[in-house]
Copies of this chain bind each other. A is one copy, B any other.
Amino acid sequence: MLSFQNLLASFETVFHKEVQTIQSTDPVQLYDPIAYSLQGGGKRIRPVLMLHAASLLSDNIDGVFPAAVAIELFHNFTLLHDDIMDHAGLRRGEPSVHIKYGENSAILSGDAMSIMAFEFLSRCDSSKLPAVLAHFSRSAMEVCEGQQLDMEFEERDQVTISEYLEMIRLKTSVLIACSLKTGALLAGGDDNFCRLLYDFGIQIGIAFQLQDDWLDVFGDQNTFGKKIGGDICENKKTFLLLKALEMSCEKDRAALKYWLEKSEFDAPQKIEAVRKIFTNSGASDATKALMNEYHGKAFEALNQLDLPDNDKLELRKFADSVVYRIK
C-alpha cells in the first residue's frame, strides 16, 4: 500500500514528462493549449486514487501509470470544454484555454485531449484492457450526462434535491469512482473488491461536491482559491439553495425569491443576504449533515473491503480530508 504523498510525487514526475512531450509535438497550435491546461496545476486526485487502489492489491503498479495519465487527461478535457460552455474566463486563477487561444482551439484541443486519454489507455495490460476500456468509456459518457443535466438545471425553474444529487453523482462522483475501480481492475481485483471501491468513490464524490458547494458560500476566499459567492450570484441550484427554499420560514423564502428574481444587484449585498438565509433556514447544517451521511456511507463500503485495517488508512484519511477540507 502506497501513501498518497508518494504516489502524487511519482505521478507528477511521469506526468510532467508526458506534458513536455505533448508541448513539443506538432502542430504546436493543437498541442500547446493541451500542455497549457495540464500545467495549470490541480490536485491530481483521480490518478492518485487510481494508483493507490492498485497498490492495495499489488506491489508493482508501474503498468497503471498510463491509465492514471489517461484519467487526468480526461478530467482536464472536461474542465476545458466545460469552461467554454459555462463562459468561464478563469481556471485555477489563469485565463481559460478558450480565452487564451480562442474558442476553436479550445474545442479542438479538448477533443484531442479526450482522444489522447484513450490512446494512453491502450497501453494498459492487454488482458485487462477490455474491462478497463468498457468501464472508462461508460464513466466518461456519464460525466457528459452530468454536464448536460447541470446545463439543463440552469434553464429550469424546478429542480428536485434527488435530481441535483443524481447530477453531481454523474458529473463529479463517477470519475472519482472510476479512478478507484480502474486501479483495482488493473491490479487484478475481483468483482466485489472493485464494486466496493467504486461505491466508496461514489459516496465520497458526492460528499466532495456538497463540500465544494458549501465552501463556495461559506469558504474563505484566500484559502479556497475561488471567488466566494459565485454560485449565489448565478442562482445555481445547489443542495444549499434547494434545501433553503424548502426549509426557510415564509419571510426568508420570500426574501430568497426576491434575490433569485432580481436581475440587477449588488453582488456582496446579495451574497450576504442569501448566505444568512442559508444559515438561518438550517440549509447549511443540512448540507453538513448530508455530507456526513455520504461520508458515513463511504466508510461503510471501506469497512466491507477485504483488506488489513492498516491498508485502509489512506482512504480513510482521504475521506476525512474531503469533508473537513477548507480548500
Contacts and interface: CB of A to CB of B under 8 A. Distances in A.
A119 to B, nearest CB: 4
A233 interface: no
A152 B27 contact: yes
Interface residues of A, number: 37
B81 A111 contact: yes
A126 interface: yes
Interface in A109-134: 110-112, 114-116, 118-119, 121-123, 126, 129-130, 133-134
A119 B137 contact: yes
Q: Which of A29, A81, A110, A130 has the most CB of B within 10 A?
A: A130
Contacts of A27: 145, 148-149, 152
A13 interface: no
Interface in A56-85: 81, 84-85
A151 interface: yes
B116 A115 contact: no
Interface of A: 26-27, 29-30, 81, 84-85, 104, 107-108, 110-112, 114-116, 118-119, 121-123, 126, 129-130, 133-134, 137-138, 140-141, 144-145, 147-149, 151-152
